[in-house]
Chain A
């Protein structure tokens, strides 16, 4: 029940295209869903996060869509740029849990110029 399943494992997109990464969870206690961006050799950095009281959150070119009934959430990167090429991790956490976050397995995004 602690798993967070992320797909696809890798994604190649042309510059200007839309990148979509999906995650699914099982634990209904999860109530915090962040996305992290990681460049090679660096630590992950928070990109955007959502709580289940809203179905969508947008920050610039990055949008999280959240479907509580399906227990799924996704990251959309609009107008993808070569500088977006990185590994993206979804995660889920539960309020009151000292364990903090459970991470997906990551998606390696490559944006072609």
Chain B
């Protein structure tokens, strides 16, 4: 089945540790995105990538890093510099940017303990 796969679904991290969330898509989409979701605040854009080896900061990029070495993969690293990392993280992709439908993965819950 075509789609976006995020892993792990649930992740616990100790303060001071980096953690990487995986996102893989087999939709042959060019653009990929990472959003953060907190209760009552909607979805906020962390990073986005239009093509391989290129990515741009979104609205809340501080404390996060990404890479785009392959078209189908866009991992997100939550670093120890992120002050409040506990959240629901959503990966998404679209055929290209510019107003096309974006499709979301099932999300990853990150809890800092």
Contacts and interface: CB of A to CB of B under 8 A. Distances in A.
Interface stretch (B14-22, B63-71, B76-84, B92-100): B92-100
B53 interface: no
Contacts, number: 66
Contacts of A97: 97-99
B30 to A, nearest CB: 10
Contacts of B104: 36, 43-45
A41 B90 CA distance: 11
Interface residues of B, number: 27
B interface: dominant SS: strand
Contact of A98 (B4, B40, B48, B106): B48
B99 A93 contact: yes
A44 B97 contact: no
A6 B42 CA distance: 10
Contacts of A1: none
Interface residues of A, number: 27
A interface: dominant SS: loop
Contact of A89 (B42, B94, B101): B42
Contacts of A103: 35, 42-44
A24 B49 CA distance: 27
Interface of A: 6, 9, 31-32, 34, 36, 41-46, 49, 89, 93-101, 103-106
Q: Top 9 nearest A-B pairs by Cβ distance?
A: A43-B104, A32-B99, A105-B42, A98-B97, A103-B43, A103-B42, A95-B99, A93-B99, A95-B98
11 contacts: A43-B4, A46-B102, A93-B99, A95-B99, A96-B98, A98-B31, A98-B98, A99-B45, A100-B31, A100-B45, A105-B40
Interface of B: 4, 31, 33, 35, 40-45, 48, 50, 56, 58, 90, 92, 94, 97-99, 101-107
